[in-house]
Amino acid sequence: MLPLYTSEEPSELNKHPIFYWNHVALEMNRVTHSLNGPQTGPTMSSRALGLLHLAIHDAYFAIDKGYKPYLPGLEPVLDAGETAEDAEQAMAGAAITVLDDLYSRGGAGISVLANHTLLAHLKNQIDNYPKHIDTLSVSYRFGARVARKILEILGVRPGEPGADSGRYEPKSGRFFFRDEPLNPVRLLPVDPNNPSGPEKPVRMYHGPFYGTTTRPFATHQQHKLADPPKDDDEYQEAVREVVALGGAPGRPKTVRSADQTVAALFWAYDGANLIGTPPRLYNQIVRQIAWSQVKADAAPGKTTAEFVRLLALVNVAMADAGRIAWREKYHFEYWRPLTGVREHDAASGPGAQQQNGRKKELDKDADPFWEALGAPETNTNKISFKPPFPAYPSGHATFGAAAFQITRLFYKKERDLQFDANGPDEIAFAFVSDELNGISRDLHQPYSQDTPIQDQPGDVRTRVVRHFESLWDAILENGASRVFLGVHWRFDAFASEDVIETTNPDGSTVYRDSKAVNYKTTGTRSGEEGQFPIGGVPLGIAIANDIFEKDMTPPAELGLPTDPAQMVVDPASTSRDALTKSSNTNIR
């Protein structure tokens, strides 16, 4: 049994089919991370959401005339003889097909109980869909066929590594990512179906090959980053900052404010029990913003089309953000603060050399015993941790910037909002994070899957409503939040001269008001000519800009037909004559 755990949002949202299927996907994200199921981690969960929403998008817009489909040959064909119900049935067929494909299979390391629980939860969610699903209808079967084509083109194929660690081994030199000193291994059951049986130590490395083996959704450019700093003034200041703002409570140099601690936890979603990963959080926020942007006089069909389009853009942007960020992470293999601070002195770490001579004191900024606040193991009694992949760039910063920038661009165009595409907006919102909802807690004992979290003893986190003046403001705080946890350097998110107002004597920094932030500073990249952005925020913004400017079209490297008259969905597989009542449509 998996206890019910609901997020705060208007109850009307899930009465809309597109929000309902998005809700189901976010539920599966939450549940699979609570059970060690499939599609876990930020890479695979962002890809799962991208696959789902792209399939829904094309199934819907092959019938409705709102926006151009992604797949060539799927021309809009809705006419007077068809209804919105046909498009909704196609949407259901696409959604269920993708969800079944992603979550109904077992696999190595996934217990039979976890698989059965996921299947039961998915079935329950589908059964609770507020309308009748006609699985025999032409429109439903068409949606399913579109989904299978999306999965065929963009899904992780058999034999590909996906986010698995494979035979990856981290390097041992200075500045290289390595095992977390507080949690170098995790003890996992030898047999996942016998959790109380023998255990084996496992070193966790998430997605070392993901960025170079998976295919792009809708980016047309390479999107590379500048080299991160090493042993220069920027790096020294970043060390002092993360010690001051990201240290564990009680450390002598920790000066993080209560507001910064709230920001750190608000944005966390580090694969936590009952909570899931950052793409879930960003979807939750976009849902709320989309609902707030509905015009009172908007026609229902127009509103639904906007919702379908926006959620596809957001999740396609995050799917590509995950692929590109992880490619860059394992290109640089840059260490995280927990290693960097502990080994800051040149006489520390595996690469340090023994030398005879005069006694040398440790560098004043080094601390071999430093501890970070850490990514929270919410709703468990486990200790906080360092995410098991390199620091630069920040995945949070890249995902959040991609999701929020493409949301900004969408409403700038659709609502004719007057703000600079690379500057502050006026899309304000308030949100209650599942990390700080008055329910989530740090348990005093192991989590019990058979008991609602509300009935399990632990330190309950205070419910906090966090307000943002704009999505631009959210992009900044989301990136900075990882410094406040002590799991990232500030340059993992952005160049400090773009966002840092001043540096205090204790090493902490004051961040500029978001209205004065521009993310424009660039740097060099070893072996390549030109200037490149610094950190995940400008990377995510560039990814969103690329996708939006190209109208979310498939990149050439996918090898799809460029002539809209060429079909990519087999016309023999599903007849749409009864639905389209047209003899000259490209897709049948």
* pLDDT, tens only, 86-104: 999 999 999 999 999 999 9
Whether 1 has a pLDDT exceeding 70, the answer reads no
Cβ atoms < 10 Å from Cβ of 230? 10
Are 336 and 488 in contact by the 8 Å Cβ rule? The answer is yes
Report, as an integer, the average pLDDT of 148-156.
Answer: 97
Mean model confidence pLDDT for the chain: 92
Q: pLDDT for 259-272, tens place per residue?
A: 999 999 999 999 99
Are 214 and 323 in contact by the 8 Å Cβ rule? The answer is yes
CATH superfamily membership of 13-348+385-580: Vanadium-containing Chloroperoxidase, domain 2 (1.10.606.10)
Report, as an integer, the average pLDDT of 493-516.
Answer: 95
Residue boundaries of the structural domains of the chain: 13-348+385-580
Q: Residue 238's pLDDT is what?
A: 98
Instruction: Please tell me which residue in 220, 396, 444, 467 is annotated as part of the active site.
Output: 396
Q: How far apart are CA 339 and CA 181, in angstroms?
A: 7
Q: How far apart are CA 96 and CA 153, in angstroms?
A: 18
Q: In the chain, pLDDT over 90 holds for what percent of residues?
A: 81
467 is catalytic: no
Pairing, β 509-511 against β 500-503? antiparallel
Q: How far apart are CA 456 and CA 34, in angstroms?
A: 16
| 546 token code pair | 């690329």
- H or E element in which residue 468 lies: strand 466-468
Between the alpha carbon of residue 25 and those of residues 142, 280, 311, 329, the distances in Å are 21, 9, 12, 27
Question: How does residue 352 score in pLDDT terms, banded at 50, 70 and 90?
Answer: confident
Q: pLDDT for 201-213, tens place per residue?
A: 999 999 999 999 9
Q: Residue 66's pLDDT is what?
A: 83
Q: Residue 7's pLDDT is what?
A: 79
Report, as an integer, the average pLDDT of 532-558.
Answer: 97
Q: pLDDT for 23-59, tens place per residue?
A: 999 999 999 999 999 999 999 999 999 999 999 999 9
Full DSSP string of 200-247: EEE-----TTHHHHSPPSS--S----PPPP-SSHHHHHHHHHHHHHHB
Q: In the chain, pLDDT over 70 holds for what percent of residues?
A: 93
Question: How does residue 419 score in pLDDT terms, banded at 50, 70 and 90?
Answer: very high
Q: How far apart are CA 296 and CA 342, in angstroms?
A: 56
